[in-house]
Amino acid sequence: MSGPLDGVLVVDLSRALAGPHAAMMLGDLGARVIKVESPSGGDDTRSWGPPFIQGSDGERHSTYFLSCNRNKESIALDLKSDDGRETLTALIERADVLVENFRPGVLDRLGFDTDRLHALNPRLVVLSISGFGHDGPEGGRAGYDQIAQGEAGLMSLTGPSPDEPTRVGVPIGDLLAGMYGAYGVVAALHERERTGAGRIVRTSLLAAIVGVHAFQGTRYTVAGEVPRQTGQHHPSICPYGLFHAADGPVQIAVGSDGLWRRIAPAFGLDRPQWATNPERVGDRDAVIAAVNEAFGRHTSADVLALLDELGVPAGKVRDLREVYEWEQTRSQGLLVDVEHAALGTITLPGPPLRFDGAPPREHAAPPTLDQHGAAIRAWLAT
């Protein structure tokens, strides 16, 4: 399974989602990822469900676990035992990257503080992901995605109104922390080529969510405005959001006055007071109502066809069945078939990166608990 990170060894001590997602991204890029799990049940997500799928081994397999552990090997180690610590030590000595998302201080208590890690392997890059940061007045707090979405302000921006703060439909804080973490690891590996030394890379759910506040952040830090929920519509562009045709929703993105000059006459929306985006934003409710009334006279298919003809960005709202059956999704390599040890051939959402000139990669299924333990121990003994 070659790739840009071919030859890089990652030891994944993490569980749940942020760390495993980061390690999976590195595995998708060709790194060898060895996932270290507790002998008593393994990664927490192995028990997260339903849905579960019954395997030929008689065990129930969590679809949650399957989502974030492809391209990994599994070894079960009790890190409170001498044997577990000795095996982990041997892995660290050979590793390029260590990924961990214990609460701050836990790895130290297990005997693997930063000084010892770099004494064992000066070239080791360590990715440490926490909930709210490794230091600061609340650095020791446990990190769970929905808590972080609320604490980091994301829920105050999401939902139909300020009375209904809403979480994003996926664990976006975990996923973003994993993505930022993998990005930091790749940068540290590149730096190591120059310095010969590893580095500690730190991120958190808090940092990852604040890192994507984007224009909402500068609304406060520069303009002094506290952003609030605006439902299905953009706070700074109009019309930009979800509207309703006669038979269902249609989304449009009128991101310039030039696009407005195309859509307005076609749908009877010409108003002199709506010539510019600031004017339309200032009269948002009336613009939204007028667009809904105009679209409501047509089917969604007809609206989308006319918008396509006009060159106005638009789209439908798909459920996941429609997304995964969509030929465009499949054409981008976003579904991969893998052979699971207990479930046989299964289809997983695939990695989002492609490299021109490289053939499509084969991917390994998420491992069963300790599936590769014996082979890894044999390799360490050589």
3-state secondary structure the chain: CCCCCCCCEEEECCCCCHHHHHHHHHHHCCCEEEEEECCCCCCHHHHCCCCEEECCCCCEEEHHHHCCCCCCEEEECCCCCHHHHHHHHHHHHHCCEEEECCCCCHHHHCCCCHHHHHHHCCCCEEEEEECCCCCCCCCCCCCCHHHHHHHCCHHHCCCCCCCCCCCCCCCHHHHHHHHHHHHHHHHHHHHHHHHCCCCEEEEEHHHHHHCCCHHHHHHHHCCCCCCCCCCCECCCCCCEEEEEECCEEEEEECCCHHHHHHHHHHCCCCCHHHCCHHHHHHCHHHHHHHHHHHHCCCCHHHHHHHHHHHCCCEECCCCHHHHHHCHHHHHCCCEEEEEECCCEEEEEECCCCCCCCCCCCCCCCCCCCCCCHHHHHHHHCC
Domain spans, the chain = 9-212+330-380, 240-319
255 has a pLDDT exceeding 80: yes
State mean pLDDT over 231-247: 95
The model's pTM: 0.93
pLDDT band at 142 (very low <50, low <70, confident <90, very high): confident
Residue of 12, 28, 96, 174 marked catalytic: 174
pLDDT band at 216 (very low <50, low <70, confident <90, very high): very high
Mean pLDDT of all residues belonging to the chain: 96
55 has a pLDDT exceeding 90: yes
Residue range 9-212+330-380, CATH number: 3.40.50.10540
pLDDT band at 1 (very low <50, low <70, confident <90, very high): low
Q: Which CATH class is domain 240-319?
A: alpha beta
Q: Which residue has the higher pLDDT, 39 or 140?
A: 39
200 has a pLDDT exceeding 70: yes
Establish whether 174 is a catalytic residue. Answer: yes
pLDDT band at 361 (very low <50, low <70, confident <90, very high): confident
